[in-house]
Amino acid sequence: MLDDIDTSRFQDQHVGVLYGGASPERPVSLETGQALADALRSSGYDVTLYDVPDDLDAVVDDRPAAVLLALHGGAGENGTIQGFLETLGIPYSGSGVLGSALALDKGRSRVLLQDAGLMVPDGERLDFEDATRPPSEWETWLSRHSLELPLVVKPTDGGSSQNVSICRTFEDLAEATGAIVGAASEVDPTSAVLLEEYIEGREYTAGFFDDTFLGALEVIPGEAFYNYEAKYESDETEYHVVEEPSLLQRLEAAGDLARRTLGASGVLRVDFIAEIQGDPVLYVLEINTIPGMTETSLVPKLADGQGVGFKRFADLMLSAASCRPQLDSTVT
Which residues are catalytic, by number? Answer: 25, 160, 232, 269, 271, 286, 288, 292
Distant-in-sequence, close-in-space partners of 207: CB < 8 Å, separation ≥ 6: 213, 214, 215, 216, 267, 268, 269, 291, 298, 299, 302, 303
Please tell me the distance from the alpha carbon of residue 258 to that of residue 118, in angstroms, as a whole number: 8
* H, E, C per residue of 225-273: CCCHHHHHCCCCCEEEECCCHHHHHHHHHHHHHHHHHHCCCCEEEEEEE
Under 8 Å between Cβ of 234 and 170: no
Going across the sheet that includes 192-197, the strands are 123-127, 192-197, 151-155, 165-167
Please report which helix (H) or strand (E) contains residue 123, including its range.
Answer: strand 123-127
Please report which helix (H) or strand (E) contains residue 69, including its range.
Answer: strand 67-69
Query: For the chain, what's the residue count?
Result: 332
Please tell me the distance from the alpha carbon of residue 66 to that of residue 80, in angstroms, as a whole number: 17
Please report which helix (H) or strand (E) contains residue 144, including its range.
Answer: helix 135-144
Distant-in-sequence, close-in-space partners of 22: CB < 8 Å, separation ≥ 6: 52, 53, 74, 75
Under 8 Å between Cβ of 318 and 15: yes
HSE toward the beta carbon, residue 294, CA cutoff 13 A: 10
